[in-house]
Amino acid sequence: MNILDNVKGELIPWDDPLLTSEQDDWKFEEYPMEEAAKLGLLLIETSRKLNGAGLSANQIGLPYKVFALTAEEQMDLPAMAIFNPEILESSEDKTSMTEGCLSRPNLWLMVSRPRVIKVKYFTFKGEEIKTTLSGYVSRVFQHEYDHMIGIDFTQRVSREKLKRAIKKLKKDAKRGRTTQVIRGNFNP
């Protein structure tokens, strides 16, 4: 059975336990290269369809350390699928920027992250890449990497900041400025 047989390229609910658990490494020896290529393409296409800068496999229900980076213009790089990523080093110098997440539509938070990171990952062909990232691509890589280790961007801000952002989101929903409404136990 193909691992993508039952995957529709749709986001799973934000409170699915898959989003808060560490994901499994992609095992190149267990899956043919075509399977990796299909997964990478599915993530890229889904991220683009949702106007995302990136998308992790667990966001569409697959428990693997795989994500796509798709903000080509901002990153000055082609869209790509990243398999089994690792952050090897992070700069002490940090930068703050407003972030959103496809799993939490219309929730925007100011998140501080290292400005520069050294990373290792594999292409869909199993080729190892080691490189240094900075700027927007560094931020998106870190955000998607967090998904791989079960961290949500809401965990990167203080409880007070999160409460204010949720209050604003609920207020906007009441005023009809957004269709997103916080449901469930999303109480910081």
Task: State pLDDT tens for residues 33-61.
Answer: 999 999 999 999 999 999 999 999 999 99
Say which of 35, 89, 144, 160 is annotated catalytic.
144
> Over the range 57-82, which residues count as b (16 or more CB within 10 Å of their CB) and which as e?
bbbbbbebbbbbbbbeeebeeebbbb
Q: Report the share of the chain in percent with pLDDT over 70.
A: 93
* 29-to-23, 25, 36, 125, 182 alpha-carbon distances in Å: 17, 11, 11, 11, 41
**Structure confidence at residue 75 (pLDDT):** 66
Question: Which long-range CB contacts under 8 A does 145-151 form with residues at least 24 apart?
Answer: 145/67, 145/85, 145/87, 147/19, 147/23, 147/56, 147/58, 147/59, 147/67, 148/22, 148/23, 148/56, 148/58, 148/65, 148/67, 148/85, 149/22, 149/23, 150/19, 150/20, 150/21, 150/22, 150/23
Which CATH superfamily is 17-174 part of? Peptide deformylase (3.90.45.10)
144 among known catalytic residues: yes
Give 77-123 pLDDT, tens digit per residue. 889 999 999 999 999 999 999 999 999 988 999 999 999 999 999 99
- Give the separation between CA 75 and CA 66, rounded to whole angstroms: 19
CB burial of residue 138 (10 Å; 0-12, 13-18, 19+): buried
* pLDDT score, position 178: 60
**Mean of the per-residue pLDDT values of the chain:** 90
Whole-structure pTM value: 0.89
